[in-house]
Structure 1
Amino acid sequence: MNLRQIRYFCEIVEAGSATHAAERLHVAPTAISMQLAQLESQLGGELFDRSRRPMEPTALGKFFYPRAKELLAQTARLEDEAQGIATGSHGWLGIGFTRSSTFSILPRTIRKFRESFPHVQLDLVEALSEYQPAQLRQGRIDIGISRFIGDFETPADLTHAVKIDDPLVAALPISHVLARRKSLSAADLATIPFILYPKDPISPFGQQIVALLKTAGPEPVVAYRAVEIYTALSLVGAGLGGTLVGRSISENNRSDVAFVPVRNIQTSTTVVAVTRSDENSKLVSSFLDILANYSQQ
């Protein structure tokens, strides 16, 4: 049994005769009849009652027809999806991301990517930057959206494809007196309770923030340690203190938090797209191109 036999059988059912099926398929009637006979031989019974005009499916034919149609539909879907993967229009893409990228960078990139690749399944995996290399090596993700402070190393088997500069700004309660200023100094931040994040034994991000502030002014008084940035901003919004975040996060338009530049902190955060060095996926390349365009806006 092959797909041609199944296709010819379904055409006979829908056309009412082998002659009409041959006309629709632009083949000789003898070819239709031959394929049908071979199919019936393999199945061990007749699919049509040839004594009736137009031919009607037998009990075997009535059983076989809907299942044959589903098989043809599945075959068409398989062919379409396989061609899509070959051309890069279909497929699966795993994206690892730090939570700070969900405020603006990641959603914008995904929306644009969806416009060009609506049939690609995106698997979004939240992970701190330090956990993403292992997930890339394991094949769990194809791209990692990481965030670093200052200099960072690139392992030999990974590539940092896109780098977006994202300067640090102070996040303050909207009602705090410092929130009314156009800019702050590190010393100003030392006057209010500081909220540190992320609270994770592997991530050095929080301690790097403290080190930057200590270099530029008095050491901040860490009053709270938040597991992730959303919690940190919620604590800021509740008036419990301030913190430092990437400037892109200010696009979140929170009504309870003010974002103010800090004058004497020169070190910036960098958002980086990390991929495997031997990556050759068209979907990965397209996603990175969109992310790179975002960095130029």
Structure 2
Amino acid sequence: MEARHLRYALALAEHQHFGRAAASLGIAQPPLSAQIAALEREVGERLFDRTSRGVFPTAAGTAFLDRARRALAEMSGAVTDAGRAARGESGRLRMGFIGSALLAPLPGVLGRFQRSRPDVRLDLREMGSPDGVAALIAGELDVAVGRGAPRGAGAEGLVTAPIGADHLIAVVASTHPFAGRAEVGLDQLVTETLVVAPGDQEPAVSSWLRSLFGSASSPLDRAASARDIHTIIGLAACGVGVGLGPDRMRLLRRDDVWFCDVTPQVRLPDLQLSFRAADRSPVLAAFLDVVRANCREVGSRLDEVLARHPAACSEGVSPAAAVPSPAGAR
């Protein structure tokens, strides 16, 4: 039994005449009569009464036609759903991210993506950079946003592009001696109690800080650990110590803390967006298209990385098609 048999039966029930039904279907009457007879044999019941007044569904035909209408509607819905999924208009996007990415650029990107793809379910998880990379490699995430280039087994299969630059700043309580200063030197931080992200959460930043302090890294050994920038600022406000973090922390300005630059200016490892090079998900493609539209300089870097990545070009996929750009994603 094929979909056309259901359409034939519904047309005959609507027009109550073989000739008129055949004309509405664009076929001749004899083939329609033959197809309806074959359908009745397959069902094992007479579906239509042929009378001099017209052709009318039997009780069995009425029951059959009710199901046929629903079946055709489901088939039409299946075609629609398949098209929407292929265009990245439905499905799920799993993202892991570090907290500071929520200050910029994720608010603009996620907001625009959700407005353009309201039926895509966003599965968002805050996690440290190493955990995000591990989950991405394991297939538990579709996108990871962390600080520093991904490392470890499987990282070679990822496409990574920088999405934000930061330099190091300090945050102190408004009552701290550093409050009111525009900048503080690294040499002045050596004697302070510091508040930093733990090394297991942000190893790139921890390693960077240790290289800055060099032999005088003891402040880091006795530093208070804070999982995210909100905690760094909160502990600084409590007078626990001097918080160190990215300059985007200034977006969380509050009355009881003071931000100042660290000199000489120290650039932190970039925020990086990563995904699996072999991932052909239309939802991922739609998300990356929004990234391109929202952060144009990031889009050009992303395309450059894709063009060079061997995994993105494998299996006969050209760099331009490695992550397709669904129609209407912008």
Matches within 5 A, 1:252-263: 252=252, 258-263=258-263
Residues 205 and 269, structure 2, Cα contact 8 Å, conserved in 1: no
Residue 251 (structure 1) aligns with: 251
For residues 147-188 of structure 1, the C-alpha deviation after alignment (integer angstroms, 9 at most, x for no partner) is 12xx77584322223443222333344665644433333355
Residue 4 (structure 2) aligns with: 4
For residues 76-97 of structure 1, the C-alpha deviation after alignment (integer angstroms, 9 at most, x for no partner) is 2322233344455554433232
Residues 168 and 269, structure 1, Cα contact 8 Å, conserved in 2: no
Matches within 5 A, 1:113-124: 113-124=113-124
CA distance in 2, matches of 1:99, 1:17: 68
CA distance in 2, matches of 1:138, 1:152: 13
Residues 18 and 33, structure 2, Cα contact 8 Å, conserved in 1: yes
Unpaired runs of 5+ residues, structure 1, are none
What root-mean-square deviation, in Å, do the aligned CA atoms of Structure 1 and Structure 2 show? 3.9
Kindly, what percent of the aligned residue pairs are identical? Answer: 30
CA distance in 1, matches of 2:179, 2:14: 73
Residue 288 (structure 2) aligns with: 288
Residue 36 (structure 1) aligns with: 36
Unpaired runs of 5+ residues, structure 2, are 299-330
Tell me which amino acid in the other structure corresponds to 2:287: F
SS of residue matched to 1:160: strand
TM-score, normalising length from structure 1? 0.74
Tell me which amino acid in the other structure corresponds to 1:294: C
> 1:189: Cα distance to partner?
4.9
**Count of aligned pairs:** 294
SS of residue matched to 2:266: coil
Residues 167 and 267, structure 2, Cα contact 8 Å, conserved in 1: yes
Residue 156 (structure 1) aligns with: 156
Residue 271 (structure 1) aligns with: 271
Tell me which amino acid in the other structure corresponds to 2:46: E
Residues 163 and 271, structure 2, Cα contact 8 Å, conserved in 1: yes
Tell me which amino acid in the other structure corresponds to 1:169: I
Residue 195 (structure 1) aligns with: 195
Residues 93 and 284, structure 1, Cα contact 8 Å, conserved in 2: yes
> 1:72: Cα distance to partner?
2.2
Residues 199 and 228, structure 1, Cα contact 8 Å, conserved in 2: no
Residue 146 (structure 2) aligns with: 146
For residues 218-276 of structure 1, the C-alpha deviation after alignment (integer angstroms, 9 at most, x for no partner) is 85475632344444444445554442232334335666655433232423231111222
CA distance in 1, matches of 2:7, 2:175: 72
SS of residue matched to 2:263: coil
Residues 97 and 144, structure 1, Cα contact 8 Å, conserved in 2: yes
TM-score, normalising length from structure 2? 0.68
> 1:71: Cα distance to partner?
2.6
For residues 39-81 of structure 1, the C-alpha deviation after alignment (integer angstroms, 9 at most, x for no partner) is 3322222334555967654443443344333332332232223
Tell me which amino acid in the other structure corresponds to 1:208: S
CA distance in 1, matches of 2:249, 2:60: 64
Residues 187 and 216, structure 1, Cα contact 8 Å, conserved in 2: no
CA distance in 2, matches of 1:207, 1:15: 77
Residue 303 (structure 2) aligns with: none
Over 3 Å counting, the alpha-carbon distance change for 1:266 and 1:216 in structure 2 is farther
Residues 199 and 226, structure 1, Cα contact 8 Å, conserved in 2: no
Residues 16 and 56, structure 1, Cα contact 8 Å, conserved in 2: yes
CA distance in 1, matches of 2:70, 2:175: 63
